[in-house]
Amino acid sequence: MDTVDDAREETDRLILDTIENFLARDVKPYVHALEHADEYPHEIVARMKELGLFGAIIPAEYGGLGLGATTYAKIVETVSAVWMSLSGIFNSHLIMSAAVLRFGTDEQKRTYLPKFAMGEIRGGLALTEPNCGTDLQAIRMTAKRDGDHYVINGTKTWISNGIFGSCFALLVKTDPGAKPRHRGMSLFLALKGPGFTVGRKLEKLGYKGIDSAELIFDDYRIPADRLIGGAEGSGLRHALGGLELGRINVAARGVGVAKAALDASVKYAQIRETFGKPIGQHQSIQIKLADMATRVEAARLLVRSAAQAYDKGERCDMEAGMAKLFASEAAVENSLEAMRIHGAYGYSTEFDIERYYRDAPLLAIGEGTNELQRLIIARQLIERNPA
């Protein structure tokens, strides 16, 4: 067992070393300019394709790296500590991939997973609508059967990779009158084409560089064989299954941002002086650093727990919810504390601290709000521990 664990750790180290070299060479020198220009990082994305990141969790038999969620979470943390937006570009894509991998037909897996793994087809998950976010059962987008096609109408919004992606796992109502509502929901693989247009790019406080957009479907005809799983009525289950991986990813992003804020603060506390000594020697700063470090380590352990459960094939919505809740709040708190430690330099757009402060709140909202995570955790506690 130790030999297996040692081999896994060695493999993880080699992968992370490669990622760190990529970040140092191809990302760090350019992230500040790209982020402030809100410019899509085409050259960086091309390099991510070469590294296989778009196939990170896709099995080797389909051309992917075949990594487990535990290793994947480490990659996401490492990437997010440098530029969180990059992790969103491949995470949204991999949630779509996970839906096909876990629930798709054999033909769908053979057709799409190799193209997903190579980054030949890239995209994401299209769930949110203008009048529907957390309550997915309230979506209004419809898909009506017409021979060997479906005709889809409606609008999705806040869709990551919406502009530069080409395929999306699209949640729709195939039976709007179904009771309970989730039985009328289905998930399709929607490739861009006639009837599928991109609306406006949505401007954001943070999370720059990655494209977030409206997707508009007007009598969009889609072949029936792109219905994930081949049968109607399981769309919500398929989407939520993908979101388990997505929440682990968001939690890992939180660890990355919280760690970046901590590292910058520890360094700054040793070089900035007040009252004749480095500020790191002042008790008030030491307390902040101690709390920040504890948040990072606790968040990392929660992410590891959720990722290990996912890798075992166990239900992990509670574990992923805990990790996402705690790690995202850790990112928010650490980014604010880092700004306070850095003072005016933290507030300046010339440095990275203000970016962490703008990026972190997204993590408390995306992939299900933290208020929703608390409900999931509580309900699972009761379900798993009946009186």
How deeply is 96 buried, as exposed, middle or buried, from its count of CB atoms within 10 A (0-12, 13-18, 19+)? buried
Select from 22, 102, 12, 18 the least CA-distant residue to 62. 102
Residue 253 main-chain phi, psi, to 5 deg: -60, -40
Strand, coil or helix: 47: helix
CA–CA distance from 105 to each of 22, 101, 242, 360 (Å)? 35, 9, 16, 37
Residue 153 main-chain phi, psi, to 5 deg: -140, 140
99: left (phi over 0), alpha (psi -120 to 50) or beta: alpha
Element (H, E) at 338: helix 317-342
Which token pair is 83? 């530029």
- Catalytic choice (232, 367, 371, 383): 367
Cβ 321 vs Cβ 376: under 8 Å: yes
Look up 367 and say whether it is catalytic. Answer: yes
Task: Give the DSSP letter of residue 282.
Answer: S
Beta partners for 227?
188
Strand, coil or helix: 71: helix
Beta strand pairing call for 277-278 and 149-160: unpaired
Distance CA 179, CA 198 (A): 32
- 129-157 in b/e form (b: 16+ CB < 10 A) is beebbeebeebebbbeeeeebbbbbbbbb
How deeply is 290 buried, as exposed, middle or buried, from its count of CB atoms within 10 A (0-12, 13-18, 19+)? exposed
Torsion angle (degrees, nearest 10) of CA 302, 304, 306, 307? 160
Which residue numbers are catalytic? 367
